[in-house]
Amino acid sequence: MKVSRSKTEYMCVNEREGSGTVRLQGEEVKKVQEFKYLGSTVQCNGECGKEVKKRVQAGWNGWRKVSGVLCDRKISARNKGKVYKTVVRPTMLYGLETVALRKRQESELEVAELKMLRFSLGMTRLDRIRNEYIKGTAHVGRLGDKVREARLRWFGHVQRRESEYISRRMLDMELPGRRQRGRPKRRYMESCVKDTVSPVLFRLNFHQSDHQPSSSNSILNIDSKTTAHVEVPFQNNCKNTSCVSDLQLDFNFL
């Protein structure tokens, strides 16, 4: 294997004391504050602010490539939503399953997504149309829910691997020493536990059967306009970073 001395860079993560220089055959290797690895930006302080901004920029780049389709008035809003979820949203979600996003960073992604949807549907903020209506028209769910879904999916993949797997060991690793003063940074395991025990919001659509008008049985219909939102809390049993949730649903139609 050959290593280029001019292109090689190195980065120190959470460095508290200044370290020395790294030399390769007498030539000093450049030290950087951020590093791009497998398409994701890793910062030396453990933050993910720059990665979120690059995800937003990547989403806008993908939106511009298909803007001719998304901004076409002859195409229905449902088809525009399908194109958006197929082309634009995956570029914004890339690599975020391994990131512990804060609420402010999550809102940055959602604001950018709503701007794209407004442009696609020919709406502006002056029209004073609620965000829920715009997402419902394009049949696009909340971006934050998709991020949490991807994070839990990747967390499940790691937990099913053998105990010697590097990602499994990193999740169970405890660093020695004491942390610095101030508010602690949000950790990945804390985000996974919070995602697991968060309440689940169910959207139920009902309509009465046309063949049995006298019957009291209701039928779930995704196209019905009569909707109800039910928030079901989890009964959780958490120990340290492991959490087991028990979800039981019992629907009684009166």
Residues in the chain: 254
The residue-averaged pLDDT of 197-203 equals: 57
List of residues 6+ apart from 108 with CB closer than 8 A: 52, 53, 56
Task: Give the count of alpha carbons within 13 A of 124, CB side only.
Answer: 1
Question: What angle (nearest 5°) sits at the alpha carbon of residue 24, between those of residues 22 and 26?
Answer: 100
Q: How far is CA 55 from the centre of its chain?
A: 11
The residue-averaged pLDDT of 34-61 equals: 86
> How high is the pLDDT of residue 22?
80
**pLDDT per position as a tens digit, 51-108:** 899 999 999 999 999 999 999 889 998 999 999 999 999 999 998 888 888 888 889 9
Q: Is 162 left (phi over 0), alpha (psi -120 to 50) or beta?
A: beta
Task: Report the side by side order of strands in the sheet with 227-232.
Answer: 218-220, 200-208, 227-232
The residue-averaged pLDDT of 5-29 equals: 78
> How high is the pLDDT of residue 65?
92
Q: Which residue has the higher pLDDT, 13 or 135?
A: 135
The answer on pLDDT for 216 being more than 50 is no
Distance CA 49, CA 58 (A): 14
Please give the structure tokens belonging to residue 18: 């200044």
Q: CA 248 → CA 125, 219, 237, distances in Å?
A: 41, 20, 15
Q: Is 139 left (phi over 0), alpha (psi -120 to 50) or beta?
A: left
Residues 235/246, Cβ–Cβ less than 8 Å: yes
Q: Give the max Cα distance, the chain.
A: 89
Distance CA 135, CA 244 (A): 32
Please give the structure tokens belonging to residue 194: 């919070």
**pLDDT per position as a tens digit, 143-169:** 888 888 888 888 888 888 888 888 888
